[in-house]
Chain A
Amino acid sequence: QTVVTQEPSFSVSPGGTVTLTCGLSSGSVSTSYYPSWYQQTPGQTPRTLIYNTNTRSSGVPDRFSGSILGNKAALTITGAQADDESDYYCVLYMGSGISVFGGGTKVTVL
């Protein structure tokens, strides 16, 4: 089964920029995988940030943006703030009704 890969952790300074990626163990991610991104703090329900590669969910600040970078989907946080410290998950649509989550990236703001 195809594995969706994410960096285990990232650290960013307040006001800094960080780009998280979402790849495949085999092959390249394209818009055809409809990548989406979720933010989750411990004990909370996931919050939708981005869907269909680069569409921001309602109420999500524009410092969050989605794209395809090379052969991966990417989530960029520009001007990181303290409350961006969370776990971030991507999910890809594999076709035939199958969705696969990545393992998540823990982002620390310090």
Chain B
Amino acid sequence: QLQLQESGPGLVKPSETLSLTCTVSGGSISSNGYYWGWVRQPPGKGLEWIGTIYYSGTTYYNPSLKSRVTLSVDTSKNQFSLKLGSVTAADTAVYFCARHSSGSLFDPWGQGTLVTVSS
């Protein structure tokens, strides 16, 4: 059974870089046809797609975040990662990682991790 787990600091200072890693277990991140995505949800608000990466390193980003986001993948560790630069309080959110396939299918999801941007 495929499982995903986010990890990283829960508190980041304004203007710094948020860094999260998603560890995939129960399957290979290099599986053909599957992509790996990040979605976030500010407290009390809706879901927002951040970006998606293929195991080859091909990336796709939300245009509204593109200038600040970098996704990477480490197939040897079965992990993929998110970096979001120049964060502000508006980036405070629960960050989810998920397998992304078949157009707009995100499944399964990690449990999510709350990242707070505050000094």
Contacts and interface: CB of A to CB of B under 8 A. Distances in A.
Contacts of B107: 48, 51, 57
Given A45-B111, A98-B62, A99-B52, A36 B104 contact: yes
A15 interface: no
Given A45-B96, A104-B46, A38 B106 contact: yes
Interface in B77-119: 96, 100, 102-107, 109-112
B63 interface: yes
Nearest to A40: B47
Interface residues on A, range: 20 to 34
A93 B49 CA distance: 11
Contacts of A34: 102-105
Interface residues of B, number: 23
B48 to A, nearest CB: 6
A89 B104 CA distance: 12
B60 A97 contact: yes
Given A89-B47, A91-B49, A100-B49, A48 B105 contact: yes
Contacts of A104: 46-47
Contact of B109 (A35, A46, A99): A46
B46 A102 contact: yes
Nearest to A101: B47
Interface string A72-110: 000000000000000101011100111111111000000
Given A36-B104, A93-B104, A99-B49, 20 more contacts: A1-B64, A33-B103, A33-B104, A34-B102, A34-B104, A34-B105, A36-B103, A38-B47, A45-B111, A46-B47, A48-B106, A48-B107, A52-B105, A89-B46, A91-B49, A98-B49, A99-B100, A99-B103, A104-B46, A104-B47
